[in-house]
Structure 1
Amino acid sequence: MITSPMRIDEFRAGIALLPGDLVTRAEALKLYATRRPGCPDCESACDSVRLAFSAASFGDLPAAGRLLTAAERSARLTSHAAGCGRGGLRSVRGVPGNHGRVAGHWATAGPLTAATDASWKSRICGIGYVTSEGCWGLRGWSVDRHDPTGPSKVLVNELRAVDLLLRAVGRPDVLLVDSLRALSFLHAWQRGDTEHLPEGYDLRPRRNGPPALVRLAEHVAELDGLTVQHVKGHSGHLLNEAADSLASIARRAVTERFDATGRAGGLVSSFLSSWHQRPAAA
């Protein structure tokens, strides 16, 4: 097994071989790739990043993406050696909102499942995501007359929640959404129909590049192995309820003063404890 860390120049050369969506994911793993591994899980993440760059050098970008997914999973494990001080992806620089990871001996076998949701009320929006391995994030904002969303506000923000998840954490195995309209767009993008976007959504370039949903559509079209499923909202599904609550916290935090980060972490910990204690068939 390769255990030596990558040099900074070697890491930068590898980054240069990747397309934009993979660059963001690889940069989040820089700590694991360029510092001396502190435990077997860190070594595994380091090895996978190195192999991802090798695959990219041969033009095999799907394999590079799969190897980065393996690195992300090693980085998220809770079993890092004592004193390692890593364990868990850091928030990706440039990804807005609050992101965290709750401690717990969550099961890492089986598919990595994530849920996203949005909350909209009185021109204030909140979005949130949670994963079965304890990662969570939320973002809230108020809109003005320059808002580019268009008339399909709930739909667009449901999709923005998916974008937040993929940018901050990376690809899960299973993505759960409670909006059938959002599901139809995600499935269309997976089929390669990336020009299919919500009616009225402003397609003019933003200051930081393409519109979020344009970038998201292209990203989803390139993802390998992502299963997107519908779950009925407010039906008691634990991950969906957690994502819904995170979106509500994000929306309320725009106008109210409270510890949104602390509340989010406690909420996710509670929901995930129940999620991992449920019968396997649930």
Structure 2
Amino acid sequence: MRASEGSAPPVNGADAMSCMPLSLHRFDEELRALSTELAARAQSVRAGATRAYGCHVCKVVRQALGLAFTAARHGDEEWAGLLIGEAVYYAEHGGHLADCPQGPVAPPKRRPPLEVHRSLTEWAGASLPLVAATDASWWKNVTGVGYVVSDGRWGMRGHKGSGRPLAGADPVVIGELHAVALLLEHADADVVLVDSMAALKFLRSWQSSGTAPMPCGYDARPTATEPAALVRLAERVAERPDLRFEHVKAHRGHPLNETADSLASIARRRATRRFDAVARAEGLVQAFLAAWHDQDDPHALAA
């Protein structure tokens, strides 16, 4: 039976009609008059009873609690239980104000991962071989990866990690390999420039001997729908004996490496704060690719 379906016991009018929050001391005193079970149920609406000043839902909660406490003082445990049930029901199902402390706890907002793939048509007919560069940027569990191809294709992805890296894992090397995976999933090239010797060793090992080993600490378990990303990369690389992986020194002014490095950095920063990452990235790609193609023999740097 809901509390509204019968006659309530005699109540103190001030308790029944008051909409003001109770003091914490008063609330705790009222709980002592209840059974252990009812006190635990009433405790679940403590915030609405003691702190939610402007919330209209919590005003109803406080009215029901006031009646419940009065019923308990008169020895009517059954009515007290029904009224506490009413208070809990309204607290759980009512439309609280956005800042109400009794309202449902909103899940933390996670910025969706940034992933962008674009192409600058100015270099769509670039001469062969097609040269690509990849790079990664990692800081405090936030990763950005980027790639650029000499024919104008480029891309980047940034995301926050879901937890701490596994013990022994090297997130930088894993990120570098994810950058190559992003390239080969969305573009193609004849030569891939990588500035991490550790990542380069994995790529050449996969190309010559299959999908083992994986980087230390990398979780190679498949998802519900497909193999892990680096396992897919290893399989793809093993099927491409014609693909050349070459080392390029980082931060030495190589236009393609500088492009990939900038894209990875932009993607990483965009994962934690809002700015026009695509416009900034596109301008950098335009400038660096122009510098690459303006060289007398750009392919000599990939030889």
Q: Give the TM-score normalised by the residue count of structure 1.
A: 0.63
Match 2:267 to one of 250, 262, 267: 250
Q: Counterparts of 1:102 and 1:148 in 2: how far apart (Å)?
A: 38
Q: CA deviation at 1:202?
A: 1.0
Structure 1 counterpart of 2:265, one-letter code: S
Deviation, 1:207, is 3.1
Say if 1:149 and 1:140 are closer, same or farther in 2 by CA, change over 3 A: farther
Q: CA deviation at 1:276?
A: 0.3
Alignment partner, residue 147 of structure 2: 129
Alignment partners' CA distance in 1, 2:190 and 2:292: 17
Report 1:50-69 matches (<5 A): none
2:183 paired with 1:151: no
Who is 1:264 aligned against?
281
SS of structure 2 residue aligned to 1:270: helix
Contact 2:137–2:261 (Cα < 8 Å) also in 1: yes
Contact 1:116 1:127 in 2 (8 A): yes
Native 8 Å contact 2:136 2:175 kept in 1: yes
Q: Which amino acid aligns with 1:261?
A: V
| C-alpha distance in structure 2 between counterparts of 1:134 and 1:235, whole Å | 21
Query: Which is further off, 208-217 or 242-251?
Result: 208-217
**Does 1:180 find its partner at 2:197?**
yes
Cα deviation digits, residues 6-36 of structure 1 (max 9, x gap) = xxxxxxxxxxxxxxxxxxxxxxxxxxxxxxx
Q: Which residue of 2 aligns with 1:223?
A: 240
From the CA coordinates, give the structure whose radius of gyration is larger.
Answer: 2
1:228-251 C-alpha deviation (Å, 9 max, x unpaired): 100000011010000000000000
Q: Take 2:139 and 2:231, find their aligned partners in 1: how far apart are those partners?
A: 25
1:115 alignment partner, one of 96, 121, 133: 133
- Residue 124 of structure 1, CA deviation: 0.6
1:204 aligns with 2:227: no
Percent of aligned pairs with the same residue?
51
- Could you tell me which amino acid in structure 2 is paired with residue 277 of structure 1? D
Letter in 2 for 1:102: L
Q: CA deviation at 1:123?
A: 1.2
Maintained 8 Å contact 2:123/2:152: no
Distance (whole Å) between structure 2 residues aligned to residue 149 and residue 137 of structure 1: 30
Partner of 2:119: 101
- Amino acid corresponding to residue 180 of structure 1 in structure 2: M
- The answer to which of 160-169 and 148-157 deviates more is 148-157
Residues 240 and 135 (structure 1 numbering): CA distance in 2 closer, same or farther, change over 3 Å? same
Instruction: Give the whole-Å Cα distance in 2 for the aligned partners of 1:193 and 1:159.
Output: 15
Once the two structures are superposed, residues 39-74 of structure 1 have per-residue CA deviations (whole angstroms, 9 ceiling, x without a partner) of xxxxxxxxxxxxxxxxxxxxxxxxxxxxxxxxxxxx
In the alignment, the residues of structure 2 paired with residue 159 and residue 240 of structure 1 have an alpha-carbon distance, to the nearest angstrom, of: 15
Q: Does 1:163 align with 2:181?
A: yes
Which amino acid counterpart does residue 141 of structure 1 have in structure 2? H
Query: In structure 2, do the counterparts of structure 1 residues 269 and 198 end up closer, same or farther at CA, with 3 Å as the change threshold?
Result: same
| 1:232 aligns to 2:258 (yes or no) | no
Give the drift of 1:208.
3.1
**2:210–2:235 Cα contact (<8 Å) kept:** no
Give the distance between the partners of 1:237 and 1:136, measured in 2 at CA.
Answer: 16
- 1:183–1:228 Cα contact (<8 Å) kept: yes
Name the CA shift for 1:108/1:153 in 2 (closer, same or farther; >3 Å).
same
Per the alignment, do residues 203 and 98 of structure 1 end up closer, same or farther by CA in structure 2, a change over 3 Å counting?
A: same
Deviation of 1:197 (Å) = 0.8
Report the AA paired with residue 191 of structure 2: V
The code of the aligned residue for 2:284 comes to L
SS at match of 1:197: coil
Question: Given that residues 138 and 250 in structure 1 are in contact (C-alpha distance below 8 angstroms), is that contact kept between their aligned partners in structure 2?
Answer: yes
Say if 1:106 and 1:276, in contact at 8 Å, map to a contact too: no
Unaligned runs of 5+ residues in structure 1 are 1-95
**CA offsets per residue over residues 80-109 of structure 1, 9 Å max, x none?**
xxxxxxxxxxxxxxxx81100123146522
Instruction: Answer whether contact 2:158 2:271 (CA < 8 A) is retained.
Output: yes
1:195 and 2:222 are equivalent in the alignment: no
